[in-house]
Homo-oligomer: A and B are copies of this chain.
């Protein structure tokens, strides 16, 4: 009497979707052949392939990428961390990223940090749990924990890219690829633009967001350049909240700056600048005659103001596309991601015209 012990079949906890196995059964082959059909189609006989194709259609099979990823150890997930997805300045970057990833078989896993470094670390930890094949973070300022996570990831061959910044430290090890531009240089160019137009008493109105390091750095560059030229320069921190209203609020500070008659101001962003511009128009202060204004961001708003706002155009979408291309290349070649400095442009419009 053979002791056949019927092992109690454990309850299946399937997800309802057809699996490789279902396709294989219909096509009368084994699972591996179907798997191969997807990965190396030309290793599968013509008629077998035809049967499989038929079976896929019949079952409505869609391969489970998680299982595939787990088994292969290769990841097709690109995880990105952005301060605020809704901010126009980043929205186009994300769109660029999504476009760059489209039809490459890679997917975009996205999270926002709300400009908080602590949240960035927490979110990064969560994203790392999905075993992404690439990591994209914004800026080069992070908590120690974030840096450790990024370094560990990079050590296991995962490309890490910092976007929206480019300030490589010569000879500093353990850095990540940077795709963006140098904010200090932009700040210097902004100051130079105003100095060129004869201004000697300048102001920089900084972002009210404490963690907007890039805006602060532009301010530092601005101040350095102005000082080097012997100009007077003050820095104002805008209020938090609606940037436009914050700009309006900054107007008085600019007009009443102690001991200095400010004739030109640069801003952390166009919204701030437009707020001041509107306020100036309403108060009868001539722009650029009495006060020249220079924004940052090149949003549609500024271009339509009268006088039109001079500004700096950052490579918003390009950053996203370049980051996608960089991580894709790095994942394909197994080499580290490459930094790249992307071009920006100072767009001179009426708000900084010298001819009144």
Residues of A within 8 A of B (CB): 13-17, 60, 62-67, 69-70, 73, 84-88, 91-92, 94-96, 98-99, 102-103, 105, 107-112, 114, 119, 122-123, 125-131, 148, 152, 155-157, 244, 271, 274, 278, 300-301, 304-305, 317
Cα–Cα distance between A99 and B112 once the two chains are bound (Å):
7
New A-B contacts (11) at CB < 8 Å, excluding given A98-B112, A107-B111, A109-B110: A15-B131, A64-B129, A66-B70, A86-B94, A87-B91, A94-B94, A94-B110, A105-B126, A107-B130, A108-B111, A271-B300
Contact flag A95-B112 (CB < 8 Å), given A17-B131, A66-B131, A304-B301: yes
Cα–Cα distance between A317 and B85 once the two chains are bound (Å):
11
Distance (whole angstroms) from the CB of A105 to the closest CB of chain B? 8
Chain B: which residue is nearest A303 at the CB level?
B244
Interface pair A63/B129, CB less than 8 Å apart: yes
CB-CB under 8 A from A131, the residues of chain B are: 15, 17, 64-66
Partner of A301, one of B85, B148, B300: B300
The 7 nearest A-B residue pairs measured at CB? A86-B95, A16-B156, A91-B91, A86-B92, A85-B95, A65-B129, A98-B112
Partner of A66, one of B13, B69, B86: B69
Interface pair A108/B110, CB less than 8 Å apart: yes
Distance (whole angstroms) from the CB of A129 to the closest CB of chain B? 4
Cα–Cα distance between A85 and B152 once the two chains are bound (Å):
31
Cα–Cα distance between A192 and B94 once the two chains are bound (Å):
38
Distance (whole angstroms) from the CB of A205 to the closest CB of chain B? 17
CB-CB under 8 A from A15, the residues of chain B are: 73, 131, 156
Interface pair B107/A127, CB less than 8 Å apart: yes
Interface pair B111/A155, CB less than 8 Å apart: no
